[in-house]
Amino acid sequence: MPVVWLKWGHVLVTLIALIIISYFSAQLSIRGPHKYYTDGQIREAVNINTIITIATTVLLTAQLLFVANLMTGIVKKAFLSSHRYKNRKI
């Protein structure tokens, strides 16, 4: 079976990352395109893009860890069930 705390950690990290990505993506789209940008606006957009990139990386890592957790659970279950049949006395 998959580790329970890892499963809930995955769900929590995924939700937080999705909220962060959605919020900051909306911040970029609300401002819309301008003909000219000030230096402060460029720095702010770069900071927002950095936040979105980090949140996306965390989201993808959480997904990979979830798959690894599932695979570990499947392998453990297969190993334990095959081990039980070998040690079974008839």
Report the share of the chain in percent with pLDDT over 90.
29
Q: Report pLDDT digits (tens) over 77-88.
A: 887 777 665 655
Q: Where are the domains of the chain?
A: 4-83
Q: Decide which of 80 and 62 is more confident.
A: 62
In this prediction, residue 83 carries a pLDDT of: 64
List, as one string, the DSSP characters of the chain.
Answer: ---HHHHHHHHHHHHHHHHHHHHHHHHHHHH---SS--HHHHHHHHHHHHHHHHHHHHHHHHHHHHHHHHHHHHHHHHHHHHHHHHS---
Q: Report pLDDT digits (tens) over 34-56.
A: 677 777 777 888 888 899 999 99
Contact by Cβ (8 Å): 25, 53 = no
Backbone dihedral angles phi then psi of residue 26, each to the nearest 5 degrees: -65, -40
Q: pTM (2 decimals)?
A: 0.70
